[in-house]
Structure 1
Amino acid sequence: MSKIKIIVTLIVLSLGIAINASSVMAAKDSLNLGMVLEPTHLDPTAGAAASIDEVVYANIFEGLTRIDKNGAVKPGLASSWTVSEDKKTYTFNLQKGVSFHDGASFEADDVVFSLNRARAEDSVNAQKALFKPIESVTSKDSNTVVVTLTQPTGSFLFNMGWGDAIIVDQASADKNKSNPIGTGPFKFSKWVKGDRIVMVRNDAYWGTPAKLKTATIKIIPDPAAAVSAMMAGDIDGFANFPAPESLAQFKSDPRFTVVIGSTEGETILSTNNQRGPFKNLKVRQAIAHALDRKAIIDGAMFGYGTPIGTHFAPHHPAYVDLIATHPYDLEKAKQLLAEAGYPDGFKGVIKLPPPSYARRGGEIVASQLRKIGIDLEIIPVEWAQWLDQVFKKRDYDLTIVSHTEPMDIGIYARKDYYFAYDSPKFQALMEKLDATVETDARYKILGDAQRLISAECVNGFMFQLAKHGVWNKNIRGLWENSPVQANDLTEVYWVD
């Protein structure tokens, strides 16, 4: 072969290699993210399941404000805002040039519709209480919305960043459960029930476009299957990995990044406060003294988790450490149970949803309570059953769940909430909190609220759920912590 032919051949080969390399690099604009629970639907304004927000928050839907990875309030569909001197009137300046995914224009009337819909008497919003302080919502012009509150509300801007406060278009709102249409950087593509949800980049997005062209959420409820999928490369990562027992395996594998972060997930032994023996404070106190938090964390979460003595995140500056209020003490627990009129104990039912913290933790809790005479029948339920039987109908004695909503101690003021706690004293604290803007004063009220629900043993407070992130070492932009229940993919990208 002549020198010229050799040179030409080498050039062609090198170009082929370069083209092939570029193709490989181009392929890295997609992400396969694993998730344990499949959403019941995809409308965050009509459901309580965290899995809904974990798919759509910031990706498909947006609110006036948004919560970033550090838990800070940032502009969303509102580019800026001003607050009146009396702290009761918020004037929001909206982003311009925004369209919904179906091409409909975003305007002030959409905000008016969305907030009024959320606070309406017939609202099905799971966090309707967030909108209670709103007195009126009006459009000043197509790009300006005025929200007037009944009283100063220190958490208002943060509340507007919840998934439950996203802005929707009236024309498509009723179809968002199966075909979500928002204003975010990703558009809904398809949902293969029991398998995957696919989103594609919104090339007409008003803000900074997503780096990923496609994002696929793969539903993998089984921890062993999650491990296998990660090891085989079928999944690029799990923002919340369901198999903490396998984290050491991934830490030692150079293909992966393992991050242990914090969440807003208070993992509690939820108690029906208006049912049978559980109405009795001494019974609830007995349960509190029978819970060995360390054994639950070690057994269910393989040591990952932070013990809590109340419903509040330990990383928050207003947190009060109340673990010593009810230390592990079986003799004290038996004494309290006898004083409550149950010297020989009693039988009950514990319904456990699918997450491993609940199923594994439930076995341990049942074993611990059996030591003081409380014999629990364990009933595993699927997530839809849990929402229907436990959350909606209160047909349960005990259950285990992580409450991952941010700063959600206010749920204890809801008389109709699923653990049926009705305390005028606590309700008054929350009313006072809503009317308080100054930070130190708010923290004091939050401390008093934590002490009250701990003293009354409303629930069995066990541990703060850790965030186990496992993903390909070349992925950047996934959140290490979870200040809100979200898998925000807006800044996710691949590196070489």
Structure 2
Amino acid sequence: MHKSGIALATGLLLTCAAQAQTTFNVGLDVEPGTMDPRLMRDTSATRMQELIFNGLIRLDPNLKPVPALATSWRYTTPTSLEVNLRKNVLFHDGSPFTADDVVYTFNTVLDTKFNSPRRSFYTPITKIEAINPYKVRFTLDKPFAPLIPYLDMGIVSKAAATKMGADYGNAPVGTGPFKFASWQRGNRIELVANDKYWGGKPKVDRIVIRAIPDNNVRLVALESGELDYIHSPIPPQELDRLAKNPKLTVQKTTGLGITYLNLNTKDPVLSDRRVRQALAYLTDRQTISQDLYYGMDTPGDSFLLPGTSWYSPAVKKYPYDPQAADKLLTQAGWVAKAGGIRTKNGKPLQLEIVTNVDPNRQQVLDFLQGEWRKAGIDVKVRAYDFASMLNDLTNGKFQISLVGWLNLTDPDRASYNQFTTNGSSNYGKYSNPKVDALLEKARSATNVTQRKVLYSQAAKIVTEDVPYIFVLNQGYVAIFNKRVTGYQLYPSGSWYSFEDVSLK
């Protein structure tokens, strides 16, 4: 009896211990393409980086750089930055973090053979060297204003990345608050708390992240208790109802993102700026914002976001104006036929708009299809999986895409890769030497006032050239179960506060 009592008590203790394990269930709209921070292209990958890795710095909710793997930094000259590193930090495999890992991370990103989409963020760096195991020096070819904010990229383990090669993005080894556990492609990613995290062990033991592309299905999973947390995109028509749900918390903020139509300027039809401007006049942003997004997102007009100190009202505006569009299309040779499709040299005016599987964006495509058809444009629309769409964009296999950018924490992040001739995210192959020169100069200008002037000038040209039709400025929404505490909403959408989340 005594032994049985001990066994029973032990079993109960083990059961209680197992029950004490806390799992935070999170829903995403898009599965990350990779978890290697040097190769990430999508927002989901950025969110994963914030859990598994640390950068040298992180940006707080006010976009102020604060220490992470770096403890301090200073410019010794305008082109030399010295960074002191945190000691006693371990990678998830137990190996120590040192300056060699920092040097390796940035050198691989800068290596053209590595083909990092982030390379252009760091091209002013001519050399990075380890002064000692816990100090590095960045040498620049010219002053580089956004360098410190860009030091938020996750630092990889030199040893693990060298050993694993391409597999590193599938089973990453970082220094962050959560360790990679498993990844069932198309289903779920599991992370476990890093009990040796330099910032202290996270409050939840495990995070399960599920990619559910359909916004409505993801919302149902939250309301049923299957998920604890979801964030934008969310069905906007449901927000008022969700705010009244006593089991849920709804948090909203002005986001740091845009939704836009990316126009392929190498396309035979869209290579004519008059056609691109006409499409901008045919895009009724006000109706899209109010009737389709219920005011959650507001009409957009530039890569410089309103509500930030960088915004410039000087950009060219495109109010909904079918008459202005008709004039431009006619000037471009696209002749209108009564109730029919415009033609030029016997060819009909046909365009295809693509987007990823997202009900919010799909309804925008349906709306544009109808509106543009009234102007004599035969529009086809198509929604498909994000990974395939991104591959098509990267290879220039599209006419128009409806997509978005998030995490636009600096105007350089919102413009350099997108609008310089050789920018890694310049999918529409836009090229204007004046814009190239302005954006290069803005990178080197350390005076904030001068940077604002340069970005305003660049934004004015970009909006006149219309490589993008800026449709919406994104609001950002997070919805989570009332049992979730400790979460902090960042305008950038960052998940840094997940390490502080606990479940009641």
CA separation in 2, counterparts of 1:26 and 1:152? 54
Closer/same/farther in 2, CA of residues 489 and 28 from structure 1, 3 Å limit:
farther
Structure 1 residues 195-245: Cα deviation after superposition (integer angstroms, max 9, x where no partner) = 211111101112233222111112222222122212211111213252222
Letter in 2 for 1:402: G
Structure 2 counterparts to residues 65-76 of structure 1, below 5 A:
65-76=57-68
Match of residue 211, structure 2, among 214, 219, 222: 219
2:387 paired residue number: 384
Give 1:421 shift.
0.7
Match of residue 413, structure 1, among 391, 399, 420: 420
CA separation in 1, counterparts of 2:249 and 2:407? 26
2:339 paired residue number: none
Give 1:96 shift.
0.2
Q: Is the 8 A contact 2:420 2:432 kept in 1?
A: yes
Do residues 256 (structure 1) and 268 (structure 2) align? no
1:439 paired residue number: 448
Give 1:253 shift.
1.1
1:397 paired residue number: 399
Do residues 136 (structure 1) and 124 (structure 2) align? no
Give 1:169 shift.
1.5
Where 2:139 maps in the other structure, the secondary structure is strand
CA separation in 2, counterparts of 1:291 and 1:64? 42
Do residues 363 (structure 1) and 362 (structure 2) align? no
Structure 2 unaligned runs (5+)? 1-8, 337-341, 343-348
Closer/same/farther in 2, CA of residues 319 and 27 from structure 1, 3 Å limit:
farther
Do residues 449 (structure 1) and 458 (structure 2) align? yes
Where 2:372 maps in the other structure, the secondary structure is helix
Letter in 2 for 1:88: T
Do residues 36 (structure 1) and 29 (structure 2) align? yes
Where 1:171 maps in the other structure, the secondary structure is helix
Do residues 111 (structure 1) and 102 (structure 2) align? yes
Letter in 1 for 2:274: K
Do residues 487 (structure 1) and 478 (structure 2) align? no
Structure 1 residues 114-156: Cα deviation after superposition (integer angstroms, max 9, x where no partner) = 1111011213211211110101011111111011111111110
**Greater shift in the superposed pair: 280-289 or 219-228:** 219-228
Q: Is the 8 A contact 2:315 2:460 kept in 1?
A: no
CA separation in 2, counterparts of 1:322 and 1:254? 45
Structure 2 counterparts to residues 192-341 of structure 1, below 5 A:
192-321=184-313, 325-341=317-333
Give 1:82 shift.
1.4
Match of residue 425, structure 1, among 424, 431, 434: 434
1:4 paired residue number: none
Structure 1 length as normaliser, TM-score? Answer: 0.90
Letter in 2 for 1:96: K
Give 1:302 shift.
2.8
Q: Is the 8 A contact 1:241 1:469 kept in 2?
A: no
Structure 1 unaligned runs (5+)? 1-15
Where 1:212 maps in the other structure, the secondary structure is coil
Where 2:32 maps in the other structure, the secondary structure is coil
Give 1:322 shift.
5.6
Q: Is the 8 A contact 2:264 2:270 kept in 1?
A: yes
Letter in 2 for 1:487: W
CA separation in 1, counterparts of 2:65 and 2:462? 28
CA separation in 1, counterparts of 2:21 and 2:481? 12
Structure 2 counterparts to residues 120-159 of structure 1, below 5 A:
120-159=111-150
Give 1:491 shift.
3.8
Structure 2 counterparts to residues 73-88 of structure 1, below 5 A:
73-84=65-76, 86-88=77-79
Match of residue 158, structure 2, among 161, 166, 170: 170
Do residues 51 (structure 1) and 44 (structure 2) align? yes
1:189 paired residue number: 181
Q: Is the 8 A contact 1:309 1:321 kept in 2?
A: no
Give 1:364 shift.
1.4
Where 1:160 maps in the other structure, the secondary structure is helix
Runs of 4+ in 1 over 3 A off after TM superposition: 22-29, 321-324, 489-492
Letter in 1 for 2:483: N
Closer/same/farther in 2, CA of residues 281 and 239 from structure 1, 3 Å limit:
same
How big is the alpha-carbon RMSD for the aligned residues of Structure 1 and Structure 2?
Answer: 2.2
Q: Is the 8 A contact 2:315 2:459 kept in 1?
A: no
CA separation in 2, counterparts of 1:309 and 1:112? 39
Q: Is the 8 A contact 2:286 2:299 kept in 1?
A: yes
Give 1:394 shift.
0.6
State how many pairs are aligned: 471
Where 2:470 maps in the other structure, the secondary structure is strand
Structure 1 residues 322-345: Cα deviation after superposition (integer angstroms, max 9, x where no partner) = 676221110111111000111233
1:97 paired residue number: 88
CA separation in 2, counterparts of 1:481 and 1:490? 11
